Structure 1
Amino acid sequence: MNPKKWSAEWVWGDGEASPRNAWRCFRHTFALPYNGDGGEASAKLHISADSRYVLFVNGRQVGRGPVRSWPAEQFYDTHEVGPYLHKGADNTIAVLVLHFGLSNFYYIRGQGGLLAELELETAGGTAVAAATGAHWRTIVHGAWQPNAPRMSCQQGFAEIYDARRWDEAWTSPGFDDNGWDAAIRVGAVGEGPWKTLVERDIPFLTEEKLYPKRIESLRRVKAPAWTAAIDIRTAMLPDSVNHANHVQYAGYLVSLLVVREPGKLTLGTPSGGRMQNVWLDGKPLTDPYGVAPERYYDVELERGDYVLQIDVSATDHGAAWHFAADGSAKFEFRSPLDGAGASATPFLVVGPFASAVNIDELGIVPIDRQQPDFVRARGIASVGELTSFAEWTRPLEAALYTEQDAFGASVWQPEADKYAIPQQLERALSATPEPAVLPLFEHGDCELVIDFGQEESGYIGFEVEAEAGVVLDLYGIEYLKGDYRQHTYGLDNTIRYVSRGGRQRFLSPVRRGFRYLIVTARGATQPVKLYETYINRSTYPVTDAGRFECSEPLLNEIWNISRHTTRLCMEDTFVDCPAYEQVFWVGDSRNEALVNYYVFGSLDIVKRCLNLVPGSKEMTPLYVNQVPSGWHSVIPNWTFFWVIACAEYAEHTADAAFAKHIWPAARYTLEHYLAKRDESGLMNIKGWNLLDWAPIDQPREGIVTHQNMFLVQALRKAVELAAAAGASSEESAGLAAAAASLEEAINAHLWSEEQQAYLDCIHADGRRSAIFSMQTQVVAYLCGIAHEGRKERIESYLIEPPTGFVQIGSPFMSFFYYEALALSGRYDRMLDDIRARFGQMIEHGATTCWEMYPNFKENRANPDQLTRSHCHAWSAAPGYFLGESVLGVKRAAPGWSRAVVEPNPCGLKWARGGVPLPAGGHIEVEWRVDGDVMNLQVSAPEGVELDIRGPEGLRLTTKTSVLNVL
């Protein structure tokens, strides 16, 4: 395919090239002549932006984008906009562009930019009707506040939107943009950070309007008297916006606390962290309290000025820190400096006295937390003492600070009273002519918790009538039970909307995942009328092509939540979760792809994910574990899973062209991993040597057993990939030999005769691990490492895990366990584990699969917390195994030219369903057990050879049919 030739130029506005959290509007109005013959075949608008855009044509929202990209290969979209154009009239293209201005886990910092070009295709050829250039108009959007808090280290920013500061008619053709600036040319296509433009490789995502199911609760609440959100990482290390690696620093925040009237004051953090060492006038605060991770201190204060000092030293990945104060004392925070040195914010940054950037592949770089001046600065007793640290002291920038803190105000509620829910509030559950009228409270704000009935992912919208200045805080959470709310610590999942006055609508352009939406109306003196709340669910466009149903309702429900989880975690790539991260984790996606093959049958998203990974080659030949990302982090297993997934995709689709394209990238990284072997022949590596969250021995440096085993598996699958690519056997011979050699070394050095099991690791100092885990034994069996007597021993552990072995800690690891059980033919044990593990989720009202199993180490601080993320696609294993193992449909040849149908009833009376095929159509299966007879019906498209096998102990009666292929 010839690359597109562009007339358009990249444009931006005046000022900084890569501003933080910048919302910028662009417009262009052009005449579209009426040619009289209706000859326009189509009108295609090609568009890309750094970092995100929303496109409007003549006031109608047309689309969003672009998909996540490496800067050197920037994707662009093509929208068919003919239906929105007015022939013989003026037409307006309007684009809202969000530029992050910093790197995160799904974006690498570039610079602000928009590129757009409208092509008219007629019988006479193609003509450019509009293209970005200096004649376009632009302005900073006035409503979105650029100092909004970071959502999380993985993502961009929460929203603070002041509707009083913007005219929503800006996308309409008749809007007067004469006061806007001329756009500034950034460069031609191929200039700037975007070296190559690549056409979008997947369909556009869905946008489906969904209403909530019920009002969960109504409360009168009061927020703390003062809240703030601060980006301490960027304040300490301004250059850290250029990457998403961990940083470490030692330093302080200092403010002047001015008490106007004496009384009690509570200082604390609703988000946790950085409150271990706090001083007032040099005296440490003691006796903190609060449910972890929240932390608060109570103090009695007289009238006067107090120096507040907080030790904010941390290992920091990047997120907002929330700080708040409340009490009977009348107070304010002020900059400790007067005059020209005073800050626009009430805080000074003192430090960093020591700092480092940490990259996981290279290990943790320690910093000197005993640096003499840092130690000397502890407990500053007066403003005058700050002069001793002038070289480390500077004002906290306004861009890194806001007191519009919806998260802090929603999490810490000094007062909260529950009320019965009036029936009229249920009008907020749909678009009705009569609004839900929120109660007014004399002392406090009105809070509604709205339940969408299940986890959702997309864009929050509402229509409301309220007086000017009323604040609506919207906060999405995933789980609550009774009075317990699982707050999204580490994720600011909020919108703060300030009313312009009157009836108004808002649709957020920031994707969020949640089940419950907490809506709080603050500062109202007149009733707030809520006409509707909704979410525009946005996922990869799939249909329920796969089906599974059986005689056991619990398994049906488990399959359904697995399907829903997978769907919500299919965006422009597979993502780990729709709430906390929205990140394409490379290793997770291998298992997610297998579930997708059986549940949805989508191919393009899998291919796109696999193709994105080698883009990290410029960071490291070992490939990073989440892409495209500003975090230079390597999990070796994740790269091995990628190689395995590449081979599986080639097998699933029989796509030789893909295999040929991806094979060199797979060989390249594996050769670099093989260079990490030591004199024992084992891979000895420094990195994030992860497999499971459980406390297995997987140090960041040394010989980790499960990694060496998965490397053997990846090498073998790479040889298959090479064959599918048409490569010569000589080209992959080295990898085959390396696999055999590595397997031999594993059995020679990592087997314990005493324990009759594989140990977890050998540490960098040569110490052999004393820990034995089920994880390592499962991987040994799955990867074919164990032979003869060892294999039999390990196989027995799959059924009866030895006492004292570390047990499986996450549904992700369960996927590999189920693979091992299927390989050993123990389908009954697999179903029992699925019933127990996932049935536990169902018992707790889960509508999606959890990231972790409950009461794991991350949850022990609060027994009510069952998991972190309540929707995590690495956990959707039943969506694959119930179809592959119980329904019994397996691929037996590349591209599914041959398939095995071998049901495993495991006590079920019947099952039915369908598995989508890559070339189209399904293999449909229905079986029923009647006594000692299984009645089996199978249909498959013409050209699919079926190998039908009955379960042991049952007589099989079979009926097959062939489906015609168009």
Structure 2
Amino acid sequence: MKINRLALLTIFSFLLIVGCGAHSPKAQWISHPNFKHEANQWYQIRKEVTISKSPKELITKIAADSKYWLYINGELAIFEGQLKRGPNHKDTYFDEVDLAPFMREGKNTIAVLMWYYGREGFSHKDSKKAGFFLDNEKFSTDSTWHIKRSKAYKSTGNPQGNFRLPESNIRFDAREYNKSWIEQDYDDSKWYQAQNSGLEGASPWNKLVKRPIPLFKTKALTKIDDFKREGNRIVVKLPYDMQYHAYIKVKSSEGKYIKINPGNLRTLNDVPLRGEYITKEGEQEYIHLPWLSGHEIHFIVEEGIDVIEVGYMESGYDTQFDGTFKVADEYLMKYFKKAQRTLYVNMRDTYFDCPDRERAQWIGDGIILSEESFYLLDSKALALSKKMYNELFDWQRADHTLFGPIPAGNWDKELPQQILAAVGQFGIGNYYKYTGDRQMLKKAYPHIKDYLSLWKVEDNGAVPFRKGGWTWGDWGTQIDRNLSEHIWYYIALDNLAYMAEELGKHEEALKIKNNMDKIKQRVNHDYWTKNGYRSTTYKDEIDDRGNALAVISGIADKEKYSVIINLFKNVEHASPYMEKYVMEALFKMDEGKFAIERFKKRYAKMVNHPTCTTLWELWDYTASVNHAWSGGPLSVLYKNMAGIRPIKPGFEEFCVYPDLIGLDSLSCSFTTVKGKISLDIKTKGKRTLLKLKVPNQSAAILRVPVSSENVIFSNESQVKKENKGSKYNYYSVSSGEITVEY
């Protein structure tokens, strides 16, 4: 009998595949076969896989639209995986995780709870289709997985969450939920077979981009059984404002309602997210998986429900506070603590402006948070700054416009003055100085160059005003937008020239500086008045914001400082967003004492508020009570009171120019890309004792007042005198610990 050679080859190939233990074809995106696009859908997905030997490592690529919780053999392996879409306007992030610690030899059950947002947001781009993707060397998603739409997770009635949020309010119906579905012996035979929806790279998810930040972290569940119930309400006061998951344990008949509300609903009449729970019969407990935020949880409990326990689980970005700052000033320390908390609660998938109303990466807020993180947080936080700038540039449109917030599905307006801030020295310039990330420098340069080309500097230095999508320069009134935009553009050009020099593009740098000179001359000639800077078209009271920018940009020379200082003593139009730059300007003009006085006056209500642990959006307690931009002065304190900031990229060289402003001590420390910097200063009488730690591969430029006599260094070989100024002597200090007495 003749044997068909092709058939023989096919049989041999099949035996070879089976014998080698190879697995199924490439992973597929999977979805529900009856999927219809609508908001707030939850899916349960299962697969039983057999592993011949427990792996030491099982690196797995996982993507979901939009969030997922993954269980292996009934054990939670990943709590809230996946980042909101997207790295650009079309692609999707993926998680890379090691599942080996959860796998065992033999049969393993993979169970996934997936939440599809199904709507656009100021922090998310909707793909219009729910999907899940998993791939490793042992198993991957395909049509052999089982899926069903969860009936337990539903939408609440009105009021709904803010339109800026892609997340929906969740009503969980315990009567529709069988918690054993994550276990091995659960029968999912009546579920649908998953529908294959394309290989990696398939539309609508397109290219998968590796998650650039850590998986979120969770703390242990805190349970409280000594709570007070007043009528139908139980209020849980949290130790501080946080991102949390509410917990409640009750005994009840079925069909009764519990409302789960955050406590600090002050968001300009916009409604933040909330939750609801419908009871089943008997004793039961529930943890609300979507995160809420605030300093209180309000459980509103229907009559007839016996509440046994309440509580919360904190979650958030995986980083630690390792920056310290201490002075003998109670007000400054209260501010420091609230600014710390404000920073942390405004970072998760992205940096965002507030954790209740929007969760949106407004770039003006983002650059302020980023700068704070360099001083306050460990190195893991750097990844969130890098992600922000990558997204800013990767969302750039064909017409060269940049916009924020991004990622975004229902927002596309350009705010020129926020974007100019982001591409200038206080934005991407700061990022490069603090990190030394040349890869980002090279990427950013052409994007920024293209964006700045949208303005045309006229021969007389005039910069035509660009409205963009929204002519927003700050909250409040008396905003001299034309003045501010001229100077924000000048600051952006200054940073572009610096980047060009760093990249060896010297001719381009000269052209940029030529335009800067034109703008500077024009602003000083046409906009300077006896009372400060004012654009020729502006008719209201003179604006402190634009004058602050004139100082920090270098447009204002020292002869103008006295007029601007007097202006700052009489004009207070800046919101908390722009007040940071007023403070920067005052320190630059050697008015540190007044900078602190003005800061204390303006921030008094929020710093002295007895119960709020975060800083507000506005000067009064009328809007968001946790708002990113109000933490800006914290980094100003590090940069000016401690006087520590990078001179060369990546802290290869940094300055230590302390200004204690009448206080007798200051200590601080923080982690840089080169290592830990610490500073401790104490003054007694006319003598000062300074202790400094300089990281390896780094050098500090320390300034000491010329008036100081008998300067003593603990290690003379570590010090080299650089130059002598009119007020200070400057010394280069190499790596290591040193004590200086003067």
| TM-score bracket, shorter-length normalisation | 0.7 to 0.9
1:447 is aligned to: 233
Cα shift at 1:957: 5.4
Cα shift at 1:567: 1.4
1:231 is aligned to: none
Once the two structures are superposed, what CA deviation does each residue of 1:24-66 show, in whole Å capped at 9, x if it has no partner?
Answer: 22111111223xxx6x221123111112222222222222231
Residue 214 (structure 2) pairs with residue 196 (structure 1): no
Q: Give distance in 2, aligned partners of 1:508 and 1:786.
A: 54
Cα shift at 1:847: 4.7
Residue 563 (structure 2) pairs with residue 793 (structure 1): yes
The count of corresponding residues between Structure 1 and Structure 2 is 684
3-state SS of paired residue (1:11): strand
Q: Give distance in 2, aligned partners of 1:750 and 1:636.
A: 21
Once the two structures are superposed, what CA deviation does each residue of 1:713-771 show, in whole Å capped at 9, x if it has no partner?
Answer: 011101112233x24223444433332223333334434x4x53322573xxxxx4333
| Counterpart selection for 1:816 from 570, 581, 594 | 581
2:82 is aligned to: 66
Q: Give distance in 2, aligned partners of 1:6 and 1:706.
A: 58
C-alpha contact (below 8 Å) 2:459/2:518 kept by paired residues:
no
Q: Give distance in 1, aligned partners of 2:115 and 2:457.
A: 42
TM alignment of 1:861-872, pairs within 5 A? 866-872=621-627
2:374 is aligned to: 597
Partner amino acid, structure 2, of 1:810:
S
Partner amino acid, structure 2, of 1:612:
E
| Counterpart selection for 1:135 from 135, 139, 144 | 144
C-alpha contact (below 8 Å) 2:483/2:546 kept by paired residues:
yes
2:17 is aligned to: none
Once the two structures are superposed, what CA deviation does each residue of 1:342-369 show, in whole Å capped at 9, x if it has no partner?
Answer: xxxxxxxxxxxxxxxxxxxxxxxxxxxx
Cα shift at 1:678: 11
2:443 is aligned to: 661
Residue 224 (structure 2) pairs with residue 206 (structure 1): no
2:308 is aligned to: 530
| Counterpart selection for 1:456 from 239, 242, 253 | 242
C-alpha contact (below 8 Å) 1:477/1:488 kept by paired residues:
no
Q: Give distance in 1, aligned partners of 2:629 and 2:509.
A: 31
Residue 649 (structure 2) pairs with residue 891 (structure 1): no
1:491 is aligned to: 271
Partner amino acid, structure 1, of 2:173:
D
Once the two structures are superposed, what CA deviation does each residue of 1:305-349 show, in whole Å capped at 9, x if it has no partner?
Answer: xxxxxxxxxxxxxxxxxxxxxxxxxxxxxxxxxxxxxxxxxxxxx
| Counterpart selection for 2:337 from 537, 555, 560 | 560
Partner amino acid, structure 1, of 2:279:
S
Q: 1:935 to 1:746 in 2, by over 3 A?
A: same
Cα shift at 1:471: 0.9
Partner amino acid, structure 1, of 2:343:
T
Once the two structures are superposed, what CA deviation does each residue of 1:787-835 show, in whole Å capped at 9, x if it has no partner?
Answer: 364454224433x23xxx4x23422212111111121121112222333
3-state SS of paired residue (1:950): strand
| Counterpart selection for 1:145 from 145, 154, 176 | 154
| Counterpart selection for 1:775 from 539, 545, 551 | 545
3-state SS of paired residue (1:651): helix
Partner amino acid, structure 2, of 1:187:
G
TM alignment of 1:421-820, pairs within 5 A? 427-428=225-226, 446-478=232-264, 486=266, 489-522=269-302, 524-525=303-304, 527-535=305-313, 537-601=314-378, 602-618=381-397, 621-630=400-409, 631-644=411-424, 645-672=427-454, 674-675=455-456, 681-687=462-468, 688-697=470-479, 704-724=482-502, 726-751=503-528, 753=529, 756-759=531-534, 762=537, 768-787=538-557, 789-798=559-568, 800-801=569-570, 805=571, 807-820=572-585
TM alignment of 1:216-615, pairs within 5 A? 427-428=225-226, 446-478=232-264, 486=266, 489-522=269-302, 524-525=303-304, 527-535=305-313, 537-601=314-378, 602-615=381-394
3-state SS of paired residue (1:578): coil
1:933 is aligned to: 687
Q: 1:880 to 1:933 in 2, by over 3 A?
A: same
Cα shift at 1:15: 3.3
C-alpha contact (below 8 Å) 2:241/2:614 kept by paired residues:
no
Once the two structures are superposed, what CA deviation does each residue of 1:915-947 show, in whole Å capped at 9, x if it has no partner?
Answer: 32122x211111111011111111122332222
3-state SS of paired residue (1:949): strand
3-state SS of paired residue (2:344): helix
Partner amino acid, structure 2, of 1:18:
H
Q: 1:489 to 1:959 in 2, by over 3 A?
A: farther
- The CA RMSD measured in Å over matched residues stands at 2.6
Residue 43 (structure 2) pairs with residue 32 (structure 1): no
Q: 1:760 to 1:172 in 2, by over 3 A?
A: farther
Q: 1:678 to 1:138 in 2, by over 3 A?
A: farther
1:108 is aligned to: 125
1:910 is aligned to: 665
Cα shift at 1:686: 2.2
Q: Give distance in 2, aligned partners of 1:451 and 1:74.
A: 37
Q: Give distance in 1, aligned partners of 2:561 and 2:658.
A: 25
C-alpha contact (below 8 Å) 1:760/1:772 kept by paired residues:
no
3-state SS of paired residue (2:275): strand
Q: TM-score, normalised by structure 1?
A: 0.67
1:92 is aligned to: 109
Partner amino acid, structure 1, of 2:27:
A
C-alpha contact (below 8 Å) 1:692/1:813 kept by paired residues:
yes
3-state SS of paired residue (1:686): coil
Cα shift at 1:428: 4.7
C-alpha contact (below 8 Å) 2:172/2:276 kept by paired residues:
yes
Q: Give distance in 2, aligned partners of 1:871 and 1:449.
A: 20
Deviates more, 1:946-955 or 1:573-582: 946-955
Partner amino acid, structure 2, of 1:682:
V
C-alpha contact (below 8 Å) 2:65/2:115 kept by paired residues:
yes
Once the two structures are superposed, what CA deviation does each residue of 1:848-874 show, in whole Å capped at 9, x if it has no partner?
Answer: 44233434xxxxxxxxxx131111121
Residue 67 (structure 2) pairs with residue 52 (structure 1): yes
Q: 1:719 to 1:616 in 2, by over 3 A?
A: same
1:300 is aligned to: none
Once the two structures are superposed, what CA deviation does each residue of 1:176-200 show, in whole Å capped at 9, x if it has no partner?
Answer: 1112111112222222122211111
C-alpha contact (below 8 Å) 2:247/2:286 kept by paired residues:
yes
C-alpha contact (below 8 Å) 1:18/1:99 kept by paired residues:
no
Partner amino acid, structure 2, of 1:188:
L
Partner amino acid, structure 1, of 2:609:
H
3-state SS of paired residue (1:72): coil
Sequence identity of aligned pairs in percent?
A: 20
Q: TM-score, normalised by structure 2?
A: 0.87
2:191 is aligned to: 180
Q: Give distance in 1, aligned partners of 2:189 and 2:238.
A: 43
C-alpha contact (below 8 Å) 2:342/2:627 kept by paired residues:
yes
Residue 172 (structure 2) pairs with residue 161 (structure 1): yes
Q: Give distance in 1, aligned partners of 2:386 and 2:422.
A: 11
Q: Which runs of 5+ in 1 are unaligned?
A: 120-127, 213-425, 430-435, 440-444, 480-485, 763-767, 856-865
Q: 1:448 to 1:600 in 2, by over 3 A?
A: same
Cα shift at 1:838: 3.5
Once the two structures are superposed, what CA deviation does each residue of 1:408-441 show, in whole Å capped at 9, x if it has no partner?
Answer: xxxxxxxxxxxxxxxxxx6256xxxxxx8x57xx
| Counterpart selection for 2:704 from 939, 950, 954 | 950
Q: Which runs of 5+ in 2 are unaligned?
A: 1-23, 719-734, 738-742
Cα shift at 1:103: 1.1
